[in-house]
């Protein structure tokens, strides 16, 4: 099994900071914007972005929620899925929502995420942020507005995102299956 490191240490931190500054350019002080991380793996990026934004903007009022999309997936019955928790304790009606996931691959997860999200109301607009964009592999016409890194990969490879909170270190790797 061959592993290629795409992002780690300083570069990882710089990428997160850049994403935050890109967000601030559009969303200013986040008073009308919220962050929603997609379960199960997008929530770590969402929380990290929330933490970073809080320290850059010197505020405590950055709203961040977790959204589970299991019940909206189109591959239900093709594989076994375990639902995770949804936790959105604020209104998204008329807000600018930044949907956050770790890897954008086929786009199907995001499609389900958009469906799941509008169950909670009608946001003003929805943008997509991902840490890794696997190009040339989309099954649906969905693109991210904010991207950490772009990766050209083939289907026999996996992109693995690790987080300090769960795996002990921040790292993005490309793994041959």
Q: How many Å apart are CA 45 and CA 10, to the nearest integer?
A: 16
3-state secondary structure at position 50? helix
Q: Could you tell me the smallest distance in angstroms from the CB atom of residue 119 to another protein?
A: 4
Burial pattern 8-44, b for ≥16 Cβ within 10 A else e, equals: eeeebeebbeebbeebeeebeebeebbbbbbbbbbbb
- Stretch in the footprint of another protein (CB under 8 A) among 94-102, 113-121, 128-136, 166-174: 113-121
Does residue number 90 form part of the binding site for another protein (CB under 8 A)?
A: no
Does residue 68 belong to the site contacting another protein (CB under 8 A)?
Answer: yes
Q: How far is the CB of 175 from another protein (least distance, A)?
A: 23
Q: Is 80 in the site for another protein (CB under 8 A)?
A: yes
Q: Which residue has 């994403």 as its token pair?
A: 19
Helix (H, G, I), strand (E, B) or coil at 15: helix
Cα-trace Rg, the chain = 16
Residues 121-140 that bind another protein (CB under 8 A): 121
Binder of another protein out of 13, 115, 127, 162 (CB under 8 A): 115
Does residue number 71 form part of the binding site for another protein (CB under 8 A)? Answer: yes
Binding segment for another protein (CB under 8 A), chosen from 15-23, 95-103, 112-120, 154-162, is: 112-120
Is the CB of 71 or the CB of 150 nearer to another protein? 71
Q: Which of 150, 133, 86, 136 is nearest to 112 (CA)?
A: 86
- Residue 164: CB atoms within 10 A of its CB come to 12
In whole angstroms, the minimum distance from the beta carbon of 130 to another protein comes to 24
Question: Applying CB under 8 A, which residues contact another protein?
Answer: 68, 70-72, 76-77, 80-86, 115-116, 118-121
């Amino acid at each position: 099994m061959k592993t290629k490191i795409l992002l780690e240490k300083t570069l990882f931190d710089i990428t997160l900071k850049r994403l935050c500054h890109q967000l601030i350019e559009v969303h200013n002080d986040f008073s009308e914007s919220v962050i929603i991380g997609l379960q199960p793996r997008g929530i770590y990026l969402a929380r990290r972005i929330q933490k970073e934004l809080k320290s850059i903007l010197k505020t405590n009022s950055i709203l961040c929620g977790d959204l589970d999309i299991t019940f909206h997936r189109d591959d239900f019955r093709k594989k076994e899925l375990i639902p995770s928790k949804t936790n959105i304790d604020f209104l998204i009606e008329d807000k600018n929502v930044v949907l956050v996931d770790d890897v954008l691959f086929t786009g199907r997860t995001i499609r389900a995420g958009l469906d799941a999200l509008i169950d909670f109301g009608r946001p003003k607009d929805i943008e997509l942020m991902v840490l890794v964009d696997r190009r040339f592999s989309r099954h649906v016409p969905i693109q991210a507005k904010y991207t950490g890194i772009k990766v050209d990969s083939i289907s026999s490879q996996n992109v693995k995102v690790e987080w300090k909170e769960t795996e002990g270190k921040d790292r993005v790797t490309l793994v041959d299956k």
